[in-house]
Amino acid sequence: MTTVLNCRSRRTPQVVWWLLLALVAATGCSSKPLTPEQQAQADLSACDAQIRKIVADPARADRLVALTGEFNKLGWESIGRVNEYRAKVAALNSNYDATREDFEALISKQDAVRETLLKKALALREQMAALTTDAEWEQLRSARLRALENGLKQLGS
Amino acid sequence: MLIALLTAYLIMHFSSDSSALSAPFAQAAERIKKNVSDDDRQKQALTVIDQMKSEAQAYTQKRDSSMDVLARLLAKRTTAASDIEHASQPLIDEDRARGERLLDLRFKLKSVLTSSEWAKVFPVGETAT
């Protein structure tokens, strides 16, 4: 009896493993692709977990996670501002009678927006750098926010 | 820290202004061929579009090599924000200069097309990219 029980208990994890595998496969086949918002949130969660794995000190890790969240927010805000600007330029371009001064006024405004956002991004980077060691910084190279990266790359191309 | 992201962020910032002034070249050329019946003016307009396209290509190549320098700076933890800003300045200047050149070409194109042709080539409600 004991032998049977032992045998069963040894086999149980294997059964569970196969059931899980089947479940994962089934979920994988039927699951819908994530929306950009869901992907961005998933990226952020994965990035946070990676930061906590690399930076052992919880206080510094908390701060880095918060700064990454701020950077993520800033990135999406920047994408929104650029899209807004592009829509305004396109509208102006469609206007046959638009003057060079009209364009230059719009460009100057966007220049100021760009400078503000850039300063915020560099300040965040500086704080992140101050919170890490060289070794941690190097390891954190692999931390990615892919949805945001792709969004930014598309705007820059 | 998140080097790829910071690089992408900076690329976006250093080219976002002038990119907005780039017409969707293939589409614009197609519409010019369709809507500008005068052969001479059509040819002139298509030449301007080609110039815009060349401008965009030259800028992309130039920007990519400058971005490599910037990416190396970003990769180093101890690089000061002022050093990054300093290294970024030529890219910002180039983006502004490119914007000016594209504006020149936009007004050159306008001088070739009539108001009704322009409305068909650049209809209201379409973004540049």
> Is B104 part of the contact surface with chain A (CB cutoff 8 Å)?
no
CB-CB neighbours of B128 under 10 Å: 17
Report if residue B12 sits inside a domain.
Answer: no
Band of pLDDT at residue A18, cut at 50, 70 and 90? very low
B65 touches chain A (CB under 8 A): no
Query: In this predicted model, what pLDDT tens digit does every residue of A109-145 receive, in sequence order?
Result: 988 998 898 889 899 999 999 999 999 988 887 777 7
CA A109 to chain centre: 28
B102 part of a folded domain: yes
Q: What count of residues does chain B have?
A: 129
Across the range A52-66, mean pLDDT stands at 95
Q: B11 in helix, strand or coil?
A: helix
For B102-118, the DSSP string reads HHHHHHHHHHHS-HHHH
The predicted structure's pLDDT at residue B98: 87
Residues of B in contact with A64 (CB under 8 A): 1
Domain for residue B7, yes or no?
no
- The span from the CA of B129 to the CA of B116, in Å, is 22
Q: Is B20 on the interface with A (CB under 8 A)?
A: yes
Q: What is the pLDDT of residues B30-87, one digit of tens each?
A: 999 999 999 999 999 999 999 999 988 888 777 777 777 888 888 889 999 889 888 8
B41, B62 contact by CB (below 8 A): no
pLDDT of residue B129: 45
Quick one: tokens of A51?
């930061």
- What is the gyration radius of the CA atoms in chain B, in angstroms? 18
Q: Total structural domains in chain B? A: 1
User: Among A44, A63, A27, which Cα is nearest to A136's?
Assistant: A63
pLDDT at position B16 is 61
Q: For residue A31, what are its two tokens? A: 């699951």
Give the residue numbers spanning the domain of B75: 25-121
DSSP string, chain A: -HHHHHHHHHHHHHHHHHHHHHHHHHHHHHPPPPPHHHHHHHHHHHHHHHHHHH---HHHHHHHHHHHHHHHHHHHHHHHHHHHHHHHHHHHHH-TT--HHHHHHHHHHHHHHHHHHHHHHHHHHHHHHHHS-HHHHHHGGG---HHHHHHHHHHH-
- According to the model, what pLDDT value does residue B15 have? 63
* Within a domain: B18: no
Instruction: Tell which wins on pLDDT, A132 or B7.
Output: A132
Weakest mean pLDDT among A7-21, A73-87, B18-32, B95-109: A7-21
B127: in domain: no
Look at residue B4 and tell me if it is in a domain: no
ipTM: 0.86
Chain A contact probe: residue of B12, B63, B64, B89 with most A CBs at under 10 A: B12
Of A100, A132, A152, which has the smallest distance from its Cβ to B8's Cβ?
A152
With bands split at pLDDT 50, 70 and 90, how would you rate the model's confidence at A25? Answer: very low
- Which of A77, A83, A134, A149 is the best mutation test for B, with the most CBs of B within 10 A? A149
Higher pLDDT, A67 or B89: A67
Does some domain include residue B10? no
What is the model's pLDDT at position A157? 59
- Tell me the three state secondary structure of residue B23: coil
pLDDT above 90 covers what percent of chain B?
41
What is the per-residue burial (b if ≥16 Cβ within 10 Å, else e) of A64-77?
Answer: bbebbebbbebbbe
CB B98 within 8 A of CB B20: no
Q: Pick the most confident of A18-22, B1-5, B68-72, B106-110.
A: B106-110
Q: Looking at beta carbons, which residues of chain A come within 8 Å of B13?
A: 78, 114, 117-118, 121
Residue B29, in any domain of the structure: yes
Q: Is the pLDDT of residue B14 over 80?
A: no
CA angle B9, B14, B17 (to 5 degrees): 115
CB pairs under 8 A between A and B: 141
Q: From B56, which residue of chain A is nearest by alpha-carbon distance?
A: A157
Confidence of residue A5 (pLDDT cuts 50, 70, 90): very low
